[in-house]
Structure 1
C-alpha cells in the first residue's frame, strides 16, 4: 500500500472514516463536533447541503429541510423534497462521502483517491444498494472503491491474537440495521461463512418504540400542546415536537445504559418522566428477540452448532445497551467480546483488515507457449472483471497489473503478469463474471 486509502463506515445514523497509510491508521475527526462519529444527516439551507453536526444544529430552524436515515431509502432511491428542492438518497450519500473525503484530505495534507466502503451483509451481489453505495463513492472522487461486509470488518476490530480457524459470531446492531455473521478468523484473511440481516431493527427502531410509549404516557400534557398547534397550523411546529420527543427518547435510552432508572424532563413545565431497566427490557423484548432468532437461524442454515462458536462479538453503538448483553448471555450462553467503542468497531476493523491484507495481486499462470492464454487463480473461485489496464498490442513487464476484478465480497484485486509479454487480444470484456482458470485474454511471450 503506497498511497493513502480512506476507510468509510457509512451508517444509517452515524458515519466514521479512517485514513490508512503504510505506517499508520487514524480516525477523521468532524470539525464541527471534534468527534469521530459524524451524524448521517443533511440539511438544505437554500444554497447548499449542510452535513453532520452542522445539519443537526440547523434542523429546528425548518425541519422540512432536514433528513437523516436516508440510507434506508437506497433500495428504491425515491426523491424526497427538502425545502423546495428534490434529492435522491444516493445524491445525499455523495454529499456525505464528499465531506468525509474533503476533511480527510485536509487533515492528511494530500490527495486520497481510493476508498474502502463497509456495507451491511444484506447488500449481497445483485442488490441495487451495492451499486448505490459504490457509485456515489466514485462520484465523490474515488477512482477505486472496495466494498467490505460490515460484520466481517467488525471481526478485525478485536485487538488480540487469535488462533486460525476460530469461529466468531458477530452481533452488530447499529442505528438502523442489525447484522449477524459467522466469521472464521485467520492470521491475514477472514472468511465470512454466512450472514443474515434485519433492515428494520436498530437503535432508531427502539427509539421509535420508546417515543410511542412516551407519547402515550404523556398524552395528558401533550394534548393541550397539540391543540395549540391545531389552532395555528404549522407543519414545522409539529415536526419540531416530533424531533423533541425523539431526542428525549434517545436521552432516556442512553441514561439506561449507565443507570438502572432513567429520569428526565421533556420540557421545564412537564412532569418528570421515569423508566426503569426491567420496563425497558419488556418493551424491547420482541425487537431484541428477532435479533437472537436471526443468529440462531443463521447457525442452523450453516449447520454449525452453537457450541462450536467460540465467542459473540458485540459491535454497533446500540450494543452498549445492557439489556442486549443480558439477553445474549441468557439465550446464547457463549462468551461475549465487548469493545470499548463498539460504534467505531466497523471502521477500525476495516482499517485493521486493510493493513493486514497486503498487496493483493494475482499473477497469471505460466503456460510454456508463444501465444498463451492468461488465467488466474481467483480467491473464492469467481469475480467480476471491472477493467483492463493494458490494451491489445501493448507490452507489459513481469508483475505489471493487467486487469482489475471485484470479488463477491466487494474486495478489489489486481491480476498481474507472471512474465513479460504483450496482450494479443481480450477474450472477456469488462462487466462480465469470470471464474478461476477461465481464459481472460491471449498474450504473446
Structure 2
C-alpha cells in the first residue's frame, strides 16, 4: 500500500491464553508490554467490574476477588458465539476479544504517542476463507478502533520468527509445531524470501498449555488428597460458588507454576499454601503425564504430512513455537517422532508476533497494476495473486481523473492480506462494474475507464 512504510502498524497475535502486540514503523518494531507486569504477553482475560471491562494482568489479579466476573479462553467460544455471564451482564466472545484489542490499541498509542493507522492480526491457519471466525476477528478489531485490518496466517508469521542458528533457506519445507495456550496448530510451509506458502494445516482445538495445566491440577488433587480434602470441604461447606472457584483457580495457578519451573530445573518442590506440605514433581513425571497429549499433537502432524504426501525425511526442519514449546518434553518428543533438525526461538510464546513484525516490511507494497489500458474506453482488470479476492471498497469515484500508479480499489486476498489495485496509466473512471463486498477473480472486468 502506498505510504505503508511510513505508517505505524499494530501487529497483534491474539492467543487463547495470552496475546502479544508490537508497533511496526518501517523496519523497526516496538513491543507493547502489559502495563501492569511489563511482560511482552498479556493474559487473554477480562473482568467486568460492573461499569467497565478490565483486561490483561489486571483482570488476572482481580479474578479471585470476583471469580464470577472473570473470563479467559473466550477465543475458543468464537465459533459457537454464545454469550456468557460476567457479573451482572452477559458478553459474547467477540465483545471480550474486542475489549482486549481495545486495551492493546490504547496502550500502543499511549506508549508511542501516535494513532495507529493499520493493523495486522494473526489467525490460525485453520480459519479458512469461509470460516466465520475470520469475519469475527476483523469485526472485533474494527470495534476496538483498529483500522484497515489485515489477516496473516500464524504459521506464515511464525516462519519469519528470529530462530536460533541459521534461518531456513528459500525452498525449504518447514513443519511448524505450535503448542499454544489453548490450541495446537501445525502447518507445512514452503519458505520463500517474501511470502511463505502454507501447503496444508491441521489443528486440535482442545490441546494446549491450559489442558496441560488441567492434567497437572488433577494430578495434584489426586496426590494431595490428604491435605486438599479439608480445603475442599471448607469451600463446599461455605455454600459459596466464589469460594469453590477460588480454590480451583489456586490449584490451577499452582500447577502452572510447577510446570514453568520444570522447564528450567529437573525437580521442583513447592507449596500451594504456607501450611500445606511440599509438593514434589520431576521433569520425568511431567513428561509421562503429558505424553498422551503430546501423542495427539504428533499424530496430527503425521496425518497432515500423509495427506500432503510429504515424507518426514523431506522436511528441512521442524519449527517449535508457542509457550508449550518451552517444555523439554516437547522437543524430545518431536525429535524422536521425526528425526529432523529442530528450530527454536528464544521466546517461543512471542514467535508469532515477532515473525509477523519481521514479515511486514518484507511483504512489499502489495499493489496490482491493471492488466491493460489504452487510449479509449477500456475495462479495468487485474491479475490477482491466488486467483481470487474480496473487493472491499473503491478508492475513487466515477468521473474522477487519476494519474498512473493511483490506488483504485482495495481487496482482501483469500489468505487475509490487503492489496491495492492500481492504475497502470492515467485515466478517468467512467463507471463501476462490481460493487464492494463482492468476490472477484483474476482478469474479471471491475470498472470502465477512459484513458
TM-score if structure 1 supplies the norm length?
0.97
- Is this contact kept in 2: 1:364–1:417, CA < 8 A? yes
Distance in 2 between residues matched to 1:380 and 1:444, nearest whole Å: 28
Question: What is the CA deviation profile of residues 215-258 of structure 1, one whole-angstrom value per residue up to 9, with x for unaligned ones?
Answer: 12222222222222332211110000000000011011112111
Distance in 1 between residues matched to 2:238 and 2:348, nearest whole Å: 44
Q: How far is the alpha carbon of 1:393 from its aligned partner? A: 2.0
Matched, 1:92 2:96: yes
Show structure 1 runs of 4+ deviating over 6 A: none
1:248 is matched with 254
For residue 438 of structure 2, the aligned residue among 432, 439, 442 is: 432
Matched, 1:349 2:352: no
Question: What is the CA deviation profile of residues 37-63 of structure 1, one whole-angstrom value per residue up to 9, with x for unaligned ones?
Answer: 111111111221111111111111111
SS at structure 2 position matched to 1:192: strand
SS at structure 1 position matched to 2:6: coil
2:289 is matched with 283
Q: How far is the alpha carbon of 1:279 from its aligned partner? A: 2.2
Question: What is the CA deviation profile of residues 66-111 of structure 1, one whole-angstrom value per residue up to 9, with x for unaligned ones?
Answer: 1111111111121111111111110111111111111111111111
For residue 264 of structure 1, the aligned residue among 248, 270, 273 is: 270
Q: How far is the alpha carbon of 1:408 from its aligned partner? A: 1.1
Matched, 1:133 2:133: no
For residue 119 of structure 2, the aligned residue among 115, 120, 133 is: 115
Instruction: Quickly say closer, same or farther: Cα 1:162–1:312, change in 2 above 3 A.
Output: closer
Question: What is the CA deviation profile of residues 142-189 of structure 1, one whole-angstrom value per residue up to 9, with x for unaligned ones?
Answer: 220001111110000035554321111111111011111111111112
- Structure 1 range deviating more: 211-220 or 410-419: 211-220
Q: How far is the alpha carbon of 1:23 from its aligned partner? A: 4.2
Matched, 1:21 2:28: no
Unpaired runs of 5+ residues, structure 1, are none
Question: What is the CA deviation profile of residues 400-431 of structure 1, one whole-angstrom value per residue up to 9, with x for unaligned ones?
Answer: 11111111111010111101112222222222
Distance in 1 between residues matched to 2:201 and 2:363, nearest whole Å: 21
1:415 is matched with 421
Distance in 2 between residues matched to 1:183 and 1:393, nearest whole Å: 45
Distance in 2 between residues matched to 1:442 and 1:297, nearest whole Å: 48
1:230 is matched with 236
- Is this contact kept in 2: 1:113–1:141, CA < 8 A? no
SS at structure 1 position matched to 2:160: helix
1:143 is matched with 147
2:310 is matched with 304
1:183 is matched with 189
For residue 41 of structure 2, the aligned residue among 26, 37, 43 is: 37
- Is this contact kept in 1: 2:189–2:199, CA < 8 A? yes
- Is this contact kept in 1: 2:162–2:354, CA < 8 A? no
Q: How far is the alpha carbon of 1:373 from its aligned partner? A: 1.1
1:313 is matched with 319
Distance in 2 between residues matched to 1:82 and 1:346, nearest whole Å: 30
TM-score if structure 2 supplies the norm length?
0.96
Matched, 1:172 2:172: no
- Is this contact kept in 1: 2:373–2:424, CA < 8 A? no
2:66 is matched with 62
Distance in 1 between residues matched to 2:261 and 2:357, nearest whole Å: 31
Instruction: Quickly say closer, same or farther: Cα 1:365–1:174, change in 2 above 3 A.
Output: same
Unpaired runs of 5+ residues, structure 2, are none
- Is this contact kept in 2: 1:19–1:27, CA < 8 A? yes
Aligned pair count reads: 445
- Is this contact kept in 1: 2:175–2:315, CA < 8 A? yes
- Is this contact kept in 1: 2:34–2:42, CA < 8 A? yes
Question: Please, what is the CA RMSD of the aligned residues?
Answer: 1.3
Q: How far is the alpha carbon of 1:36 from its aligned partner? A: 1.1
2:410 is matched with 404
Distance in 2 between residues matched to 1:230 and 1:332, nearest whole Å: 48
Distance in 2 between residues matched to 1:171 and 1:155, nearest whole Å: 10
Distance in 1 between residues matched to 2:215 and 2:238, nearest whole Å: 29
1:77 is matched with 81
Matched, 1:384 2:393: no
